[in-house]
Structure 1
Amino acid sequence: MKKITIKDIALEAQVSISTVSFVLNDKGEKMGISKAVIKKVQDIADKLHYRPNMIATSLRTGKTRSIGLIVENISNQFFSVLAKVIEEEAKKLGYRVFYCSTGNDDERSAELVQSLLQANVDGFIITPTEKLDKSIDQLLKMKKPVVLIDRYFPGQDVSHVVMDNYEGAYSATEFLIEKGRRNIALINNNSGMIQMQLREKGYADSMKKAGLYNESLILHLDYHSSEENKIEEMIQFFEKNKAIDGVLFLANYMGLAGIQAIRKIGLKIPEQLSIISFDDHYSFRLHSPSISVVEQPLDAIAIKTVALLMDQMVKEDDFVVEKVLLKGKLVKRESV
Structure 2
Amino acid sequence: MSRHKVSITDIAKKTGLSTTTVSRVINGKGEQYRISEASRKKIMEAVKEMRYVPNIYAANLRTGKSNTVALMVPSLNNPFFASIVSGLNAEIRKYGYITIISDSDENFENEKKELEQLIARNIEGLIIVPTGNQWRHIKELYDQQLPIICVDRYFEELDLPYVATDNYDGAFHATKCLINNGHVSIACIQGVRESTPNRLRVKGFKDALEESGISSYWVVGDDFTIQNGYLETKLLMQQKDRPTAIFALSNTIAMGCMKALKEENIRIPQDVSIITFDEHPYLDFLSTPLSYVAQPVDDIIQIAVKYLFSRMQNKDMNVIKVLLKPQVVIKESIKTLL
| TM-score, normalising length: structure 1 | 0.84
Contact 1:181 1:246 in 2 (8 A): yes
Residue matched to 1:309: 308
Residue matched to 1:38: none
- Could you report, residue by residue, the CA deviation over 1:94-134 in whole angstroms, capped at 9, with x for unpaired residues? 11111111111111111111110111111111110214401
Query: Hey, what's the Cα distance between the residues in 1 that align with 2:51 and 2:324?
Result: 39
SS of residue paired to 1:239 = coil
- Could you report, residue by residue, the CA deviation over 1:286-335 in whole angstroms, capped at 9, with x for unpaired residues? 2211111111111211111111110110016x232111111212222111
Query: Hey, what's the Cα distance between the residues in 2 that align with 1:204 and 1:18?
Result: 68
Contact 1:159 1:308 in 2 (8 A): no
Residue matched to 2:82: 80
Residue matched to 1:100: 102
Superposed CA RMSD in Å reads 3.5
Query: Hey, what's the Cα distance between the residues in 1 that align with 2:53 and 2:146?
Result: 26
Contact 1:109 1:132 in 2 (8 A): no
Identity %: 32
Contact 1:110 1:132 in 2 (8 A): no
Query: Hey, what's the Cα distance between the residues in 2 that align with 1:206 and 1:31?
Result: 68
- Could you report, residue by residue, the CA deviation over 1:170-201 in whole angstroms, capped at 9, with x for unpaired residues? 11111111222221211113531111011111
SS of residue paired to 2:202 = helix
Unaligned runs of 5+ in 1: 34-40
Residue matched to 1:323: 321
Residue matched to 2:268: 269
* CA pair 81-154 structure 1, distance change in 2 beyond 3 A: same
Query: Hey, what's the Cα distance between the residues in 1 that align with 2:167 and 2:228?
Result: 26
* CA pair 297-202 structure 1, distance change in 2 beyond 3 A: same
Query: Hey, what's the Cα distance between the residues in 2 that align with 1:9 and 1:322?
Result: 48
Contact 1:279 1:293 in 2 (8 A): yes
* CA pair 180-18 structure 1, distance change in 2 beyond 3 A: farther
Residue type of the partner of 1:143? Q
Count the aligned residue pairs.
330
| TM-score, normalising length: structure 2 | 0.83
Residue matched to 1:144: 146
Residue type of the partner of 1:236? L
Query: Hey, what's the Cα distance between the residues in 2 that align with 1:229 and 1:90?
Result: 33
Residue matched to 1:89: 91
User: Which one has the bigger helix percentage?
Assistant: 1
* CA pair 231-161 structure 1, distance change in 2 beyond 3 A: same
Contact 2:186 2:245 in 1 (8 A): yes
Query: Hey, what's the Cα distance between the residues in 1 that align with 2:153 and 2:93?
Result: 24
The structure whose Rg is larger is 2
SS of residue paired to 1:110 = helix
Unaligned runs of 5+ in 2: 36-42
- Superposed structure 1 runs of 4+ greater than 3 Å apart: 1-10, 15-33, 48-52, 226-230
